């Protein structure tokens, strides 16, 4: 699963929540107890995964902040709904005081998240993420109305006034921008597999693909010679059934990418370099065996989509693995 899908769904859920704010009295609808925690949870996991793969401490801290403050807001809303629907008074506070607490918590993590949007846009060179900063206008307007002016027109519990309505349009634009910017991020949760697991998968592939094929015995020396000529995209692997000949795995490029990605700092470069131009880290470790024909990274730096379909996590090219019959080489 792509990490970006977590963020895309999380921000889309926040957008759905915003429509409830625009057209209904939010706290009078128990559905918020489901949508909001789901949104916060997905966004927290999204930022935590981004922090893990980029080694960016701010993204990890943002994930923790979202979880804590979002969890507190969810708890307050649940306790409020218990009071409204079941007359269970746990928080002896007025609606306005509850609103101030919710807005304060929301404003703090939202400002931190907007800083994360800008860092995200710069790190991955995704310009649409800069539009996420439009949410700052909504924060300033809502905080000014609810806290500074102490307006009785509380947007969570009463119909919106004109200024608050327009301010939420900026928030909607921010959520749409981040949902799209997250969706186009091409990082898989699993980036690199151990070498032993790679070999096991290749042997399973050979066993499955060759089980119903005609097996024509040929001297192994011919196959070795063939492998030496095709070392860029071919590799000889002995099958688990100990066949008389050694089959060859061919790596085909389904769709080619022109860029490579650094999993340490998030920099994007042109194909052809194994050293990050931004942080100086090595993009992948050299290893004998199957390689991506586009960026030359070992096949273990790829995500397995199906038994013979992989996506390189360095250049994101689509690859297909298949065994080659020696007599058709």
DSSP string, 220-254: HHHHHHHHHHTTTTEEE---TT--SS--EEEEEEE
Do 174 and 34 reside in the same domain of the chain? yes
Do 201 and 170 reside in the same domain of the chain? no
The answer to whether position 322 is within a domain reads: yes
pLDDT at 227 over 60: no
pLDDT at 320 over 90: no
pLDDT at 219 over 50: no
- Among 124, 151, 183, identify where a domain stops: 183
Do 222 and 285 reside in the same domain of the chain? yes
The answer to whether position 231 is within a domain reads: yes
Cα–Cα distance for residue pair 127/45, rounded to 1 Å:
22
The answer to whether position 190 is within a domain reads: no
The answer to whether position 188 is within a domain reads: no
Do 236 and 270 reside in the same domain of the chain? yes
pLDDT of res. 213: 45
pLDDT tens for 135-155 read: 999 999 888 877 766 654 555
Between 93 and 159, residue with greater pLDDT: 93
Q: Give the 3-state secondary structure of residue 88.
A: coil
- Among 154, 183, 212, identify where a domain stops: 183
Do 170 and 49 reside in the same domain of the chain? yes
Between 235 and 315, residue with greater pLDDT: 315
pLDDT tens for 18-44 read: 887 776 655 455 666 788 899 999 999
> What is the pTM for the complete model shown?
0.60
Count of structural domains within the chain: 2
Do 208 and 114 reside in the same domain of the chain? no
pLDDT tens for 87-122 read: 777 778 877 788 889 889 999 999 999 999 999 998
Q: Give the 3-state secondary structure of residue 53.
A: helix
CA proximity to 199, closest of 249, 233, 254: 249
Do 79 and 200 reside in the same domain of the chain? no
Do 48 and 179 reside in the same domain of the chain? yes
Do 177 and 201 reside in the same domain of the chain? no
The answer to whether position 33 is within a domain reads: yes
Do 263 and 138 reside in the same domain of the chain? no
pLDDT at 303 over 90: no
pLDDT of res. 288: 74
pLDDT at 225 over 60: no
The answer to whether position 189 is within a domain reads: no
Range of the domain at 200: 195-328
Do 247 and 283 reside in the same domain of the chain? yes
pLDDT of res. 131: 95
Mean pLDDT of 2-20: 89
pLDDT tens for 252-279 read: 888 888 888 887 777 888 888 788 877 7
Do 117 and 212 reside in the same domain of the chain? no
pLDDT of res. 254: 87
- Among 159, 183, 207, identify where a domain stops: 183
Mean pLDDT, the chain, whole residue set: 76
pLDDT of res. 239: 42
Those residues with Cβ within 8 angstroms of residue 175's Cβ, 6 or more apart along the chain or in another chain: 11, 12, 14, 15, 18, 135
Cα–Cα distance for residue pair 132/122, rounded to 1 Å:
13
pLDDT tens for 161-211 read: 677 777 888 999 999 999 999 998 876 554 444 545 555 555 565 555 445
| Structure confidence at residue 223 as a pLDDT band (50, 70, 90) | very low
Cα–Cα distance for residue pair 292/301, rounded to 1 Å:
9
């Amino acid at each position: 699963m792509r990490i970006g899908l977590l963020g895309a769904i999380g921000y889309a859920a926040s957008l759905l929540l915003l429509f409830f704010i625009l057209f209904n009295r939010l706290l009078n609808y128990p559905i918020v107890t489901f949508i909001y925690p789901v949104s916060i949870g997905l966004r927290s996991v999204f930022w935590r995964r981004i922090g893990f793969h980029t080694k960016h401490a701010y993204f990890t801290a943002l994930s923790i902040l979202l979880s804590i403050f979002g969890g507190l807001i969810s708890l307050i809303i649940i306790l409020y709904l218990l009071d409204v629907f079941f007359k269970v008074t746990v928080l002896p506070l007025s609606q306005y005081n509850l609103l101030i607490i919710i807005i304060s918590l929301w404003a703090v993590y939202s400002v931190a998240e907007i800083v994360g949007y800008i860092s995200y846009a710069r790190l991955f060179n995704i310009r649409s993420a800069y539009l996420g900063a439009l949410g700052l206008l909504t924060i300033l307007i809502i905080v000014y109305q609810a806290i500074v002016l102490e307006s009785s027109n509380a947007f969570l519990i009463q119909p919106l006034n004109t200024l608050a309505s327009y301010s939420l349009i900026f928030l909607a634009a921010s959520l749409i921008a981040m949902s799209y910017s997250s969706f186009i991020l091409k990082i898989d949760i699993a980036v690199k597999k151990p070498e032993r697991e790679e070999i096991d998968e290749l042997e399973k592939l050979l066993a499955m693909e060759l089980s119903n094929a005609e097996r024509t015995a040929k001297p192994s020396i011919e196959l070795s010679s063939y492998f030496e000529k095709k070392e860029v995209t071919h590799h000889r692997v002995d099958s688990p059934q100990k066949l008389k000949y050694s089959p060859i795995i061919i790596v085909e490029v389904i769709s080619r990418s022109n860029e490579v990605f650094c999993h340490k700092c998030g920099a994007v470069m042109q194909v052809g370099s194994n050293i990050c131009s931004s942080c100086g880290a090595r993009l992948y470790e050299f290893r004998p065996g199957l390689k991506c024909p586009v960026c030359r990274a070992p096949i273990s730096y790829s995500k397995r989509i199906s038994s013979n379909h992989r996506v390189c996590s360095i250049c994101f090219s689509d690859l297909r693995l298949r065994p080659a019959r020696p007599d058709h080489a």
